[in-house]
């Protein structure tokens, strides 16, 4: 397809597509002559992802470029490729290592990983942004004075493992390595709000079952 058709099918203006091409967010098309290039379905798929990351998720262009660089890095195995792409997304800042709540939360999270048998996650604790996010969340909860038991957190962790199985099962239905990692990146950005919404709807449903509408 030519640029005009790519624009029409994606809903992205041609000027924006040209900008994405200049910024390295989209691979150049196959050059037909000095002024015309041809694009394919892979360009269309990637263009839609880039557009959504920038205009819906508000991910900065430089971050999108970094994420997609990891998506396309076929020198990495799938786990590292996926991890690098996800870790490049905006993350929470490093917590204060001397904060007493952070120190206790870090120990609690380490015990949690051991309890649920996430040995691979334990091996990544020094570099995984997800680990850092969990420590910050637990520390904040403790700072507010909530007594969230380790058993309850472990129960949530097991539910999230079931969600992760569904995520990767879906990811594996895609043919190429780049598409698999793209799907995981899209899931991290766009499926997590779905999970949050389902969680809140489930709370509302359970509340109505237990207590009625009075």
Q: Are 181 and 71 in contact (CB under 8 A)?
A: yes
CA nearest neighbour of 95 among 105, 85, 84: 105
120 and 198 part of one domain: yes
Render each residue's pLDDT in the chain as its tens digit; 214 residues.
889 999 999 999 999 999 999 999 999 888 888 778 899 988 998 899 899 888 888 888 998 898 888 888 888 888 888 878 888 877 778 788 888 999 999 999 989 988 998 877 666 666 788 888 889 999 998 889 887 888 899 999 999 999 989 988 998 998 888 888 888 888 888 888 888 899 999 999 999 999 987 6
Please state, in angstroms and rounded to a whole number, the distance separating the CA atoms of residues 7 and 1.
Answer: 10
Residue 159 lies in a domain: yes
Please state, in angstroms and rounded to a whole number, the distance separating the CA atoms of residues 81 and 171.
Answer: 13
Q: Are 44 and 9 in contact (CB under 8 A)?
A: yes
SS3 61: helix
pLDDT of residue 82: 80
Q: Which two tokens stand for residue 185?
A: 């990146």
- What is the domain extent for residue 31? 3-56
**Model pTM score:** 0.75
Cα distances from 138 to residues 105, 110, 115, 143, in angstroms, run: 6, 12, 16, 9
Interaxial angle between packed helices 14-22 and 3-10, expressed in degrees from 0 to 180 and rounded to the nearest 10: 110
21 and 118 part of one domain: no
52 and 114 part of one domain: no
Half-sphere exposure of 1 (CA within 13 A, CB side): 13
Please state, in angstroms and rounded to a whole number, the distance separating the CA atoms of residues 139 and 141.
Answer: 5
Read off the CATH number of the domain in which 18 is found.
Answer: 1.10.1660.10
Residue 79 lies in a domain: no
List strand residue ranges (DSSP E) for 12-97, in order: 30-31, 37-38
pLDDT of residue 126: 62
Q: Which two tokens stand for residue 211?
A: 């207590």
Please state, in angstroms and rounded to a whole number, the distance separating the CA atoms of residues 154 and 143.
Answer: 20
Only one residue has tokens 């850092």, namely 132
Number of domains in the chain: 2
Please state, in angstroms and rounded to a whole number, the distance separating the CA atoms of residues 146 and 148.
Answer: 6
200 and 120 part of one domain: yes
* DSSP bridge pairs for 89: none
């Amino acid at each position: 397809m030519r640029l005009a058709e790519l624009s029409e099918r994606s809903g992205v203006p041609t000027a924006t597509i040209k900008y994405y091409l200049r910024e390295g967010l989209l691979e150049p098309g196959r050059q037909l002559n000095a002024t015309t290039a041809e694009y394919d379905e892979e360009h269309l798929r990637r263009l839609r992802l880039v557009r959504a990351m920038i205009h819906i998720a508000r991910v900065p262009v430089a971050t999108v470029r970094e994420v997609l660089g990891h998506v396309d890095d076929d020198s990495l195995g799938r786990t590292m490729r996926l991890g690098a792409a996800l870790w490049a997304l905006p993350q929470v800042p490093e917590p204060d290592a001397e904060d007493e709540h952070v120190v206790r939360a870090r120990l609690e999270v380490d015990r949690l990983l051991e309890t649920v048998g996430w040995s691979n996650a334990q091996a990544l604790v020094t570099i995984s942004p997800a680990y850092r996010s969990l420590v910050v969340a637990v520390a904040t909860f403790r700072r507010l004075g909530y007594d969230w038991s380790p058993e309850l957190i472990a129960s949530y962790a097991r539910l999230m493992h079931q969600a992760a199985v569904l995520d990767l099962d879906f990811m594996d239905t895609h043919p190429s390595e780049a598409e698999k990692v793209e799907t995981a990146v899209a899931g991290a950005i766009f499926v997590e709000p779905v999970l949050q919404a389902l969680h809140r709807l489930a709370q509302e449903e359970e509340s109505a079952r237990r207590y009625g509408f009075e």
